[in-house]
A and B are shown apart, each in its own frame.
Chain A
Amino acid sequence: MAGPRDRVCLVVDDSRVVRKVARRILESHGFTVEEAEDGSQALESCRRAMPGSVLLDWNMPVMNGIDFLKALREEFGPGNPPVLFCTTENDIDRIEQAITYGAQEFIMKPFDDEILVGKFTQVGLL
């Protein structure tokens, strides 16, 4: 049942630093990481090849996380792939919004190995 792209995680964040941190953690746990700098790039990437999961930032230029999430669910239906929504304490009120639009889980920045692995396990990706 496991598809070839199940272990592919698309990291969507406008910060190269954040993408790199996420990549290191995820790769150390056997994930293949693809990157996108904003929602619109992420959507393109999904249209080319759907990843097994998405680690999504909220605040990005061009297309922000929420708009991407909406578009993704609209285009490809609910539930798949699982989306983990990253946010900070300033955006706590956005979490609810994100869950409404179909995010599976949220992760507070800054995350580390333990937090990320915990959340991924929670969603059943690990």
Chain B
Amino acid sequence: MDDLLADFLTETNESLAELDLALVKLERAPDDAQTLSLIFRHVHTIKGTCGFLGLPRLEHIAHAAENVLGRMRDGKLAATPDVISSVLAAVDVIKAIVAGLAASGNEPAGDDTRLAASLNAIAEGRTPAMAAPPPPPIIPTTTATATAPPPAVEAVKPEPLAEAPPPADPAGDSHAGAQTIRVTVDVLEDLMTLVSELVLTRNQLLQLARRQENSGFAVPLQRLSQITSDLQEGVMKTRMQPIGNAWNKLPRLVRDLARDLGKRIELVMHGAETELDRQVLELIKDPLTHMVRNSGDHGLETPAERRAAGKSEGGRITLSACHEGGHVIIEIGDDGRGLPVDKIRAKALARGLASETELAAMSEAQILRFIFRPGFSTAAAITAVSGRGVGLDVVKTNIERIGGAIELRNAAGLGTTFTIKIPLTLAIASALIVEAGGERFAIPQLSVVELVRAGMGGEDGECRVERINNTEVLRLRERLLPLVNLRGLLALGEAAADADTAAHCIVVAQVGSTMLGIAVDAVFDTEEIVVKPVAPILRHVTMFSGNTILGDGSVIMILDPAGIARATGVVGSNEARATPGAVKDSPEAHGPQRTAMLIFRAGGPEPKAVPLGLVARLEHIEKARIELSSGQPVTQYRGRLMPLVPLSGTLDRNAESHPVLVFADEDRGQGRDRCMGLVVDEILDVADEHLAIELSGGQQPGLLGTAVIAGKATGVIDTGYWLQHAAQDWFHGARGGRPRVLVVEDAEFFRSLLVPSLSAAGYAVTAVASATQALALRDAGTAFDAIVSDIEMPELDGLEFVRRVRAGGGWAELPVIALTGHAGLADVAAGRNAGFTDYVQKFERDALLASLRQCLAQSGALAAPVG
């Protein structure tokens, strides 16, 4: 009777799933006779069928539970939390036995005397005496119930679920009866595959038929087409399950959680009937459970805390689901305390996930996203409930793996809501069909943010492509996005050098938290595509995530924006590596030292420029917001007064608003953040430029020199001068104990930029033009606290320099930070091997300062300046 046992297991598991839900429901609504009778019937059926299979232990427990339920049904016993708990304990034992049965085919051994005695005692009305010491889990079971005596205040309000999920599967099963059959998932998967093939074939046929007028095939084809569509829909339906199936276990989980934590939690579920592919459903089950547990454990406060905060004692966790396009949106919200931004910030710092500088520059939303980083948990104490080493990072990874995204909204004191967006199905995806170099490609719609058509350097300020030498960037509403030309990337015919790029359509794609533009030749339509895995022969090409067959029978590749982003990074560093150690005299030789320059106009028609890395933000500040403070124009900016320095000398009173380059000095932290606004006439452009600069040698104050940028002579601003001009106190002069930094840099231009920057940050800076000079200083016995060195230098390059520093002498232990125009992984590895402490991109001023602080703190030589 083996298949009988299998039937029994299926049937009983279904009953058990329903039992959990019904019991929790009964606890909230103890008078619900219908629920009670449902519970009774399930336990009764389990007990009844045990007899047929010779399962005495199961029968014994089910019988005892049935006794209790029978008394309740007859109105002789009230459905108190204690009573429900003991029935839940019995259900747990039943589950454990059933699990053992499923695993071994035999009832596992165990002693249920105490549980049975306790149940019988309750049935006989001796409740109080017996309920206090809870029956311990009788056998080692993973689902040991929370049967601890409850606090006087019970977990849940006697309020029915706002919208309980429909009774799970068995409901449909038992009602439909003979109309329902069981089919293994494999069969459904095979069907799905076959239908996909059929759809593709149908589409091919349709395309062929369209070319033939008055074909005799037209009518039957149309019929075939319709039937195929219906069939596809039908098969898709077989894969669909209500999300309520994944939620089934949650009421019980929340109930036990509330009991364990001494909280009052109400679980509200909306949209349990929302259907999604069972494969997706399986994949989100665990993440959802984890997040609900998190909300209950970390999000919601204890009743006392809630009272103190002026809230109702009972917390609420709201789960909702709905369809939106081809996606399912699931929200898990609580009305708890909200995420502790300060704690998260502190923890991110403690864990070294970000430097103080970086954190200071981050918005609250950015800081909150740290909770998705591996190993990040803010719970001070690891509770038994959460904090099991599986964090939100795993949740995020799992959701992203199926092409989903997770977002969060936080309101301090009011709660946190996580929003998960997942595709309805993995088998069929919505994709944008694009063309590049005569080939078509599919881009998953999920990662497409928007489609733009960009003019080249046109007047359209919203969106345009800026192309400097071989690098294109997309300016989109004041953001600069990396731009990839698909044709160039995939080496399809003539690449990016083509001048009509301007007219190209650009797909703005989101990859994790970054966006990039993908320039294509044409955009067609959004199509539902059947996703096929990439053939093994192409699997190493990470730019593709799969392929599909279009209606006309052509096989096209599905692009993976994440892979493209990675691939472009690699391409970039390869290019840079192509000209290592080149001679620095000619402008062309500066290949590896391209620097993004912000070009603007101020006090004259000729363009001026400043390295973009030094500028914190670009703003337009209205005339009305500018006031005078002891003769100095200032404005309220991000909660403090920011001095404004007009580069042209005077502020144009007629202008309605002024473009302002904001230089922020947020590195100093401790509330001493300062910023300064350099007022210019017009912001012109951002150019990624090979630097060929002629230094003016201090002929004109505030100007470092002139460079040819985008074909025009451009004045390069000496930011140090202007910073000093704005706020004298940024420069503390020779204050004792300033860390001494040696800058080794062959290019005078860079030295001129670095020295004021570092001085402004409070370092005593010495600059030399070559490694040889630096080593001479060492040999002369000059002491420093840190060294910042360029990599590519004539004669003795940075790598060799640092090797010699490490080889011995007074500087052997000093932190040495490498400055480089390109930091590919391989470069970093090589640099570290040679002895560099850290790697910093040239002109990443904040990064350099952060790195210096960190290095100095680690070396313990001297505390880095704090202000």
Binding site for B on A (CB under 8 A): 14-18, 20-21, 35-38, 41, 59-62, 88, 90, 109-110
Contacts and interface: CB of A to CB of B under 8 A. Distances in A.
A37 B11 CA distance: 13
B266 to A, nearest CB: 28
Interface of B is mostly: helix
A14 B8 CA distance: 12
B51 A59 contact: no
B174 interface: yes
Contacts of A38: 174-175, 177
A41 B178 contact: yes
Interface in B145-192: 174-175, 177-178
Interface stretch (B41-49, B640-648, B779-787, B822-830): B41-49
A15 B48 CA distance: 9
A37 B177 contact: yes
12 contacts: A14-B45, A15-B49, A16-B7, A16-B10, A18-B48, A20-B7, A35-B178, A37-B178, A41-B178, A59-B44, A90-B70, A110-B48
B41 A61 contact: yes
A51 to B, nearest CB: 14
A120 to B, nearest CB: 17
B66 interface: yes
A102 to B, nearest CB: 23
A15 B11 contact: yes
Given A15-B49, A18-B52, A41 B177 contact: yes
A61 B47 CA distance: 16
B380 interface: no
A67 to B, nearest CB: 13
A15 B44 CA distance: 10
B164 to A, nearest CB: 17
Contacts of B174: 14, 37-38, 61-62
A18 B44 contact: no
Interface in B391-432: none
Interface string B23-48: 00000000000000010110011011
For the side of the interface on B, what is the size category? 20 to 34
B497 interface: no
Given A61-B174, A61-B175, A16 B11 contact: yes
Q: Which of A38, A60, A110 has the most CB of B within 10 A?
A: A110
B51 A110 contact: yes
Nearest to A41: B177
A62 B7 contact: no
B807 interface: no
A88 B41 contact: no
Given A59-B41, A60-B41, A90-B70, A17 B177 contact: no
Nearest to B11: A16
Contacts of A61: 38, 41, 174-175
A110 B38 contact: no
A18 B177 contact: no
Nearest to B6: A17
Interface centre among B10, B53, B178 (most CB of A within 10 A): B178
B132 to A, nearest CB: 28
A17 B53 contact: yes
Contacts of A16: 7, 10-11
Nearest to A109: B48
A21 B70 contact: no
A94 B602 CA distance: 98
B47 A88 contact: yes
Interface of B: 4, 7-8, 10-11, 38, 40-41, 44-45, 47-53, 66-67, 70, 174-175, 177-178
A15 B45 contact: yes
A41 to B, nearest CB: 5
B70 A17 contact: no
A109 B51 contact: yes
Contacts of B44: 59, 88, 90
Nearest to B10: A16
A37 B250 CA distance: 29
Contacts of A14: 41, 45, 174
Contacts of A20: 4, 7
Contacts of A18: 48-49, 52
A65 B40 CA distance: 15
Contact of A17 (B38, B41, B52, B66): B52
Given A38-B177, A90-B70, A17 B4 contact: yes
Nearest to A88: B48
Interface centre among A17, A88, A110 (most CB of B within 10 A): A17
A37 B8 CA distance: 15
Given A15-B45, A15-B49, A37-B178, 17 more contacts: A14-B45, A15-B11, A16-B7, A16-B11, A21-B4, A35-B178, A36-B178, A37-B175, A59-B44, A60-B41, A88-B44, A88-B47, A90-B44, A90-B67, A109-B48, A110-B50, A110-B52
Contacts of B40: 59
A65 B315 CA distance: 43
A62 B174 CA distance: 9
Contacts of B11: 15-17
A18 to B, nearest CB: 6
Contacts of A15: 11, 45, 48-49
Contacts of B175: 37-38, 61-62
B12 to A, nearest CB: 9
Nearest to B50: A110
A73 to B, nearest CB: 23
Nearest to A86: B48
A17 B47 contact: no
A9 to B, nearest CB: 16
A19 B825 CA distance: 67
A15 B865 CA distance: 77
B400 to A, nearest CB: 41
Contacts of B53: 17
A61 B10 CA distance: 18
B52 A21 contact: yes
Contacts of A109: 48, 51-52
Nearest to A34: B178
A60 B48 CA distance: 12
B178 A17 contact: no
A16 B52 CA distance: 12
Contacts of A17: 4, 7-8, 11, 49, 52-53
Contacts of A36: 177-178
B17 to A, nearest CB: 15
Contacts of B51: 109-110
Contacts of A59: 40-41, 44-45
- 4 nearest A-B residue pairs (beta carbon): A110-B51, A37-B177, A17-B49, A110-B52
Nearest to B45: A15
B734 to A, nearest CB: 89
Nearest to A60: B41
A94 to B, nearest CB: 12
B66 A90 contact: yes
A60 B10 CA distance: 18
Contacts of B70: 90
